Amino acid sequence: MTDRLIVLGTGNANATRCYNTCFAIDTENGLLLCDAGGGSGILRQLEDASITWDRIHHLIVTHAHTDHLLGVVWVIRMVATWMNNGKYDGELHIYCHHTVRDGLIQMAKLTLQKKMIDRLDDRILFHTITDGHKEQMLGREVTFFDIRSTKMKQYGFTMPIAGGRTLCCLGDEPYNPECRAYVEGADWLLCEAFCLYGDRDRFKPYEKHHSTVKEACELAQGLHIPNLVLWHTEDKTIARRKQLYTAEGSAYYNGRLFVPDDLDVIELGGMLNFDNHDSRLRFVDLLLERDTLDNIPSAQLPEGYSFAFYRPGDRDQWIDIECSARELSSFEQGVKVWQEYYGSCENALDKRMLFIVNPKGEKVATATAYQLDDPDMGQVHWVAIRREEQGKGLARPLIAKVLEVMRDLGGKRAFLHTQTTTWVACRLYLQFGFHPTAESAEKHRDGWRIMRALTDHPALDGFEPAEMDTVLNQSDFGGKSC
């Protein structure tokens, strides 16, 4: 099952023609609600979206503005009532900054009956969040980040969604570049856009710490994010909002742009869900290049992990990592490959071959800044992460580091070879600003069309998404119904 974004409201604080911006993410493990709008309108929105109170066990409150917070008092009231009536199993977890928690508790005490307030700290539980704080919910790890608002403490968050993808909610203020590490690499960006850029004099978004369709689209384009949802808008143009905003946005952004109406449901999974090393996919070689080694995205290793360069004697550990990642099938093959590529340049590897060392001191990932005949061009070579260390956020820092090494050694451009069956890695390279080489765009056209279908990545705008029968391995296709 793919995850779904259920849009409960799309308006700014003063909107009267639609509800205030809030949403639910519906997963196979349950439902996450984010903000609740400015009042009892949340009851109507949930009812119209066919979401009953017993399904809501996780609620993120981004900040304390009226149009996000006051509906939460109604959520507490309704959930407490359902609990008291025996219609609600388990707990409601509310994630917010401690000032939001204090305000909510005060408001609840002021406005709700004692038997409802009794559920606070009993089965309605607050979790206070800080910058970088992580919480497990719905079987996923959600990471919160301070959006650096100058008005009020406000949090965005990122979370994994179905199909190995990531969703990032920016809250209701424009993106702050200090949050880049959290936002970069997202497949879905949920972003405010108060009005059209063309209407900026009429609606004055900048005075209100908001941005326009143009800026939001430029942001998503610049960060190579394939799917963008815009909301928290004015409501004076609502009858034609979808059409007008989409038209303006398409001039600045060539990913998939969504300008939802209240109660729209957006499928978050993309077209297909494949594993990151999936033999059901048809195999096609892919060659990518990056025209510059400037503007390398920054990415931090998780706590306790560090980088180390090659030291004589590391060969067997390199082979071991490559085997674990299924890049190689045996030690013997590893010895051969090592001899072929590195045998004649082992003395340069202490500046070019990188490892990631885990908290136990084990080498668990590797990549090499390989030197090609053209001295300006480096190759990202033999990238691998041990199977059990995958999914821990090592890939982005590894690629960033190997590009930095290349640049520091005087390289100007980068090149690499990958394939459709490791499409998640290929998507990461696209997110790092790599694009198909001219030769590959021509020769591996079907491969790029497969990547386009799998990722919707804006860098592949020139390729028609492949149909299902092209995406799947030919030997698998035909025998099975799909």
Q: Tell me the window of 157-165, 172-180, 365-373, 460-468 that interacts with Zn ion (CB under 5 A).
A: 172-180
Instruction: Residue 224: count other Cβ atoms within 10 Å of its Cβ.
Output: 20
Q: Tell me the window of 48-56, 57-65, 315-323, 401-409 that interacts with Zn ion (CB under 5 A).
A: 57-65
Q: Is 208 in the site for Zn ion (CB under 5 A)?
A: no
Instruction: Find tokens 């800044």 and name the residue.
Output: 369
Q: Is 456 in the site for Zn ion (CB under 5 A)?
A: no
Q: Is 192 in the site for Zn ion (CB under 5 A)?
A: no
Q: Is 262 in the site for Zn ion (CB under 5 A)?
A: no
Amino acid sitting at position 230? L
As a whole number of angstroms, the distance between CA 310 and CA 299 comes to: 21
**Closer residue to Zn ion in complex, CB, 171/378:** 171
**Closer residue to Zn ion in complex, CB, 129/460:** 129
Task: Find the binder of Zn ion among 172, 234, 262, 456 (CB under 5 A).
Answer: 172
Total residues binding Zn ion (CB under 5 A): 3
The tokens for 119 are 């559920």
Task: Find the binder of Zn ion among 17, 65, 180, 412 (CB under 5 A).
Answer: 65
**Closer residue to Zn ion in complex, CB, 67/248:** 67
- Shortest spacing between CB 68 and Zn ion, in angstroms: 5
Instruction: Residue 119: count other Cβ atoms within 10 Å of its Cβ.
Output: 23
**Closer residue to Zn ion in complex, CB, 35/320:** 35
**Closer residue to Zn ion in complex, CB, 235/404:** 235
DSSP state for residue 29 in the 8-state scheme? T
As a whole number of angstroms, the distance between CA 393 and CA 163 comes to: 16
- Shortest spacing between CB 67 and Zn ion, in angstroms: 4
- Shortest spacing between CB 419 and Zn ion, in angstroms: 44
- Shortest spacing between CB 10 and Zn ion, in angstroms: 11
3-state SS, residue 316: helix
**Nearest CA among 173, 172, 174, 183 for reference residue 145:** 183
**Closer residue to Zn ion in complex, CB, 172/262:** 172
CA 237, chain centre distance (Å)? 30
Q: Is 35 in the site for Zn ion (CB under 5 A)?
A: no
Binding flags for Zn ion, 127-166, as an x/- string (CB under 5 A): ----------------------------------------
As a whole number of angstroms, the distance between CA 147 and CA 223 comes to: 17
Task: Find the binder of Zn ion among 3, 26, 35, 67 (CB under 5 A).
Answer: 67
Long-range contacts of 136-142 (CB under 8 A, 24+ apart): 137/32, 137/58, 137/93, 137/95, 138/27, 138/29, 138/30, 138/31, 138/32, 138/58, 139/27, 139/29, 140/27, 140/29, 142/32, 142/60, 142/95
Catalog residues that contact Zn ion under the rule CB under 5 A.
Answer: 65, 67, 172
